[in-house]
Every structure is written in structure tokens, then in C-alpha cells.
């Protein structure tokens, strides 16, 4: 996983979304830099 986001809690959310292939609900556009789907 790339180190675009320094917030450890958000990195956990991103990692879990990648493993389970589920979308993340949030407004933080930095999530778009990762291979996950962001809703909202």
C-alpha cells in the first residue's frame, strides 16, 4: 500500500476496504489515490 495518507486510522480503513473489496464512505479525496471505491 502506498503511503499517500499519514493518518493511521484512515490507513486501516483503506487496508480493510482493499482486503474485503468494499467501498469506503467519506469525503476525503485522498482515498481516490488508492485502488478502492469511495462513495460520497
Domain boundaries defined on the chain: 1-39
For residue 1, what pLDDT is reported? 77
Tens digits of per-residue pLDDT, 1-40?
A: 788 888 999 999 999 999 999 999 999 999 999 999 999 9
pTM over 0.85: no
pLDDT score for 25: 97
- The number of helices, as runs of H, and strands, as runs of E, in the chain is 1, 2
Q: Buried b vs exposed e over 1-39: b needs ≥16 C-beta within 10 Å?
A: eeeebeeeebeebbeebeeeeeebeeeeeebeebebebe
Amino acid at each position: 500500500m502506498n503511503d499517500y495518507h499519514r493518518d493511521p486510522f484512515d490507513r486501516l480503513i483503506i487496508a480493510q476496504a482493499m482486503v474485503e473489496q468494499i467501498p469506503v464512505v467519506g469525503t476525503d479525496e485522498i482515498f481516490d489515490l488508492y485502488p478502492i471505491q469511495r462513495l460520497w
